[in-house]
Structure 1
Amino acid sequence: MPVITDVKIVKVFTHRGDETVKVTLCAGGVSETAFSPLGKSKGEYEVVYAPKGNVDEAIKRAKKHLIPKLLGADAEDPCEIDKIVKEVDGTDNMAFIGSCISIAVSMAAFKLAARIKAKPLYEMIAVPNSLKLPLPLSNVIGGGRHAEQRMIPAIQEFLVFPANVPSFYEAVKETLNLYKFICATLRKNNIFYGKTDEGALLFKSTSMQALNLLSTIIENYYSMHGIDFYMGVDVAASSIWDPRRKVYVHADSGKVLDRNGQINFISTIIENFNLKYVEDPFHEDDFESFKELQSSYKNTLICGDDLTATNVRRLERALELESCKAVIVKPNQVGLISDTIRFVKLAHERNIKTVTSHRSGETCDETISDLSIAFASSFVKAGIYGGERISKLNRLIEIEALEKLKLVNIREVIR
């Protein structure tokens, strides 16, 4: 039985210069590494990223309390390693060592076990038996907290996915071409304003104006290339929710909306732009509004992110109320891959679509690419611009080429 013989924890940086952690686990003469991502738009129900917000403190505690417990652990049993991490932390939200440590250790442990067993990570974990490639769901126009600029859309992400492509490679290629076409259009009209943390394009507008422009650009792209795209949004509504006044503050348009006003706004954009995907349209505790919207628009995937936070208890609540048909899967929201797997299994048991997602603060770690296949996700959110985004897409292209996996059938996702 190969056991963990060495653990290395190093402080490194995300693509935007925030401190994060790289973990290397060694066993049986081989090693695997993993990097922790860091989100900017974080929900209240995510686990703690670092104790006291300090990565140095997280590393200090891990070296003192966690590493001695990991040495000698069974390297072929990553779930047991996750148990050790959980026991050492001793809290229900990773407050002692932080998810910057826990998720990097957990990802490295699962990758190491797969390496020892001579299996791809996605095959070793594989929640369902059938393996397929997810559709890339790409953030092409940005706003909200990812930009933190005045006069930009209140909606955080304007998303696209191709409607008629034969492969993951073609899906990425056409999305990249559309992204470049959007950028060229913005520059031609002298309204290009920059890029968000995820590489999405910025221009000064309201959410409605951004949707109108994106819709027009997609129509123009289709007329030129014969490739159509569906549109979606990540509202990230918790970031515009004022809990004291119980209203949504749309700073771009100057509108302040109560619950009914927000429902009407989201309903309007779904109908006007044929949106097939809407993520976090309401704040993270409003399960009832999610339910009302999903029941009204059965052909649109209403997706919970902050609502469910990759947390089984939150998902159980959403299932009880039938709040949504899809959920985001972000392993660092819950802090361990084993807990993420439990969340994904429950979602699949109840026919809820999964969307495996990156974070706004990323490295070139490709683990979520394998996980998106292992979790049989309908979509993968990995961005479309920047080395830390393309590395994840390239990993999926590589898997497609080597394993001959098929792309998920879009008709199974969008009905």
Structure 2
Amino acid sequence: MTTVITSVSALEILDSRGNPTVRVFVETDSGTRVSASVPSGASTGENEAIELRDKDNSRYNGKGVLDAVNNVNRIIAPAITGQPVSEQVHIDRIMKKLDGTENKSNLGANAILGVSMAVARAGAESAGLPLYRYLGGNTARRIPVPAMNIINGGEHADNNVDFQEFMAVPIGAPSFREGLRSIAETFHRLKTLLKNRNLATGVGDEGGFAPDLENNEAAMDIIMEAIEQAGYKPGKDISISLDSAASSFSPDLTSKYELKWSGEGKMNSDEMISLCRDWIKKYPIVSWEDPLAENDWNGFRKLTEKVGQSIDIVGDDIFVTNTKYIAKGIKEKTANSVLIKLNQIGTVTEAIDAVQMCREAGWRYFISHRSGETEDTFLADFAVAMGGGQLKTGSASRSERIAKYNRLLEIEMELGAMRCIIGRK
């Protein structure tokens, strides 16, 4: 018997930064009632799907989402009520058609994604399957390697570090829980080092420490020290992933860079590439996200040509989880990996399409949270369903980040008898 949607409704809630976001509830005729909450980014690509904000300065400094909530309640709900809950692709297409824009600026990507995620979760519940198995099939069993954000900078912190994320990545761990333990121990060791040097141990948006440092490279040096003091070998047990979020310090988003906070000064694209190559030689870096600005396609291509055989060059703002831009990147050999963010594109179906395009091209794809998160654990199941090799979901602090790690621990336990796999493909 087909299970159909009987009710869809939305609510304005708060995300981890205390800003409004959308929570959607879906009910079915089988008695299932689920919800899904939508994240929000701080450093966003100019081609991302648009999250709808009210711009009413009398509420939440203009960041309210009542318009998006109303679009769910008054426009989307009537259009999909009565639809089979298992028809994810069809339902996502209905919402795209209702919106009628390329970037979902009419109804809002936050409204559309909230419904899309809730429908997926309701479909899984109705099928009696965990979400990762519902979306990924019976063979979904790859637990991603966690890339734990341990130092925040850029748009995610009020410090003088230009680069946005410095992440510890376990290498060759026998299980997810052991890999998680090693980087959590490194995180705590880093806190001790910072305290001993009278540096701030407050955290940024994603839970990493946010000290003022002498320069960007000082962040790398203290992380290396923390890894060693935690009892691990850099490059053997734990390596480093970076997210420069270079668009945030590029005035033209194309070829000019100003590392003004930490004193490295103004650079052009070739000089940024040179900095990246020097760091890659000096430190155990396994992936580098957005090392250049979102319109610096030529710089991305040059860097990938030079170092793409040894590390993952990951496009985030340049690709925005959009198959249009990913296809261009594949054709022009702009990078070799893509960051997948559900709210960058706005539906579960389109995020899966982006993953499939990467698979077909032999590119890696990394699943990622946003800096404004909720306690929703959809992302953890989605990462396992997609079989991606790496997951970014924040630090070993802040409950909205820990919730995802804890869900992956549950999934690993569930998959124990199936010999789940941890690691990058």
TM norm structure 1: 0.94
Aligned match of 1:408: 422
Equivalent position to 1:316, from 305, 327, 335: 327
Which amino acid counterpart does residue 23 of structure 2 have in structure 1? K
Structure 1 residues 263 and 24: CA distance shift in structure 2, 3 A? same
Whether the 8 Å CA contact 1:36–1:332 is kept in 2: the answer is: yes
Equivalent position to 1:158, from 135, 148, 166: 166
Which amino acid counterpart does residue 415 of structure 2 have in structure 1? E
Name the CA distance, whole Å, in 1 between partners of 2:113 and 2:367. Answer: 15
Do residues 20 (structure 1) and 1 (structure 2) align?
Answer: no
Do residues 264 (structure 1) and 266 (structure 2) align?
Answer: no
Name the CA distance, whole Å, in 1 between partners of 2:130 and 2:137. Answer: 14
- 1:15-414 matched pairs, under 5 angstroms: 15-27=16-28, 28-51=30-53, 53=55, 54-126=64-136, 129=139, 131-149=141-159, 152-205=160-213, 206-222=215-231, 228-243=237-252, 246-251=255-260, 252-297=262-307, 298-384=309-395, 385-404=397-416, 405-410=419-424, 412=425
Q: In structure 2, the residue corresponding to 1:154 is in which secondary structure?
A: coil
Name the CA distance, whole Å, in 1 between partners of 2:199 and 2:22. Answer: 37
Name the CA distance, whole Å, in 2 between partners of 1:244 and 1:115. Answer: 44
Which amino acid counterpart does residue 398 of structure 1 have in structure 2? E
Structure 1 residues 48 and 223: CA distance shift in structure 2, 3 A? closer
| Deviation of the 1:124 alpha carbon | 1.9
Whether the 8 Å CA contact 1:12–1:22 is kept in 2: the answer is: yes
Q: Which runs of 5+ in 2 are unaligned?
A: 56-63
Q: In structure 1, the residue corresponding to 2:230 is in which secondary structure?
A: helix
Whether the 8 Å CA contact 1:132–1:406 is kept in 2: the answer is: yes
Whether the 8 Å CA contact 2:72–2:112 is kept in 1: the answer is: no
Which stretch shows the higher mean deviation, 56-65 or 293-302?
Answer: 56-65
| Deviation of the 1:63 alpha carbon | 2.1
Q: Deviations over 1:44-88 (max 9, x none)?
A: 111101155541111223322221112111112122211221121
Identity score, percent: 28
Whether the 8 Å CA contact 2:254–2:293 is kept in 1: the answer is: no
Whether the 8 Å CA contact 2:253–2:295 is kept in 1: the answer is: no
Which amino acid counterpart does residue 371 of structure 1 have in structure 2? F
| Deviation of the 1:407 alpha carbon | 3.1
Which amino acid counterpart does residue 328 of structure 2 have in structure 1? R
| Deviation of the 1:7 alpha carbon | 1.2
Structure 1 residues 260 and 169: CA distance shift in structure 2, 3 A? same
Q: How many residues are matched?
A: 409
Name the CA distance, whole Å, in 1 between partners of 2:353 and 2:233. Answer: 45
Whether the 8 Å CA contact 2:141–2:415 is kept in 1: the answer is: no
Which amino acid counterpart does residue 401 of structure 1 have in structure 2? M
Structure 1 residues 245 and 43: CA distance shift in structure 2, 3 A? closer
Q: In structure 2, the residue corresponding to 1:21 is in which secondary structure?
A: strand
Q: Deviations over 1:267-301 (max 9, x none)?
A: 11111113111000011122222121122111111
Aligned match of 2:61: none
Structure 1 residues 234 and 48: CA distance shift in structure 2, 3 A? same
| Deviation of the 1:398 alpha carbon | 0.3
Name the CA distance, whole Å, in 1 between partners of 2:49 and 2:350. Answer: 12
Whether the 8 Å CA contact 1:127–1:345 is kept in 2: the answer is: no
| Deviation of the 1:400 alpha carbon | 0.5
Name the CA distance, whole Å, in 2 between partners of 1:270 and 1:116. Answer: 48
Which amino acid counterpart does residue 235 of structure 1 have in structure 2? S
| Deviation of the 1:241 alpha carbon | 0.5
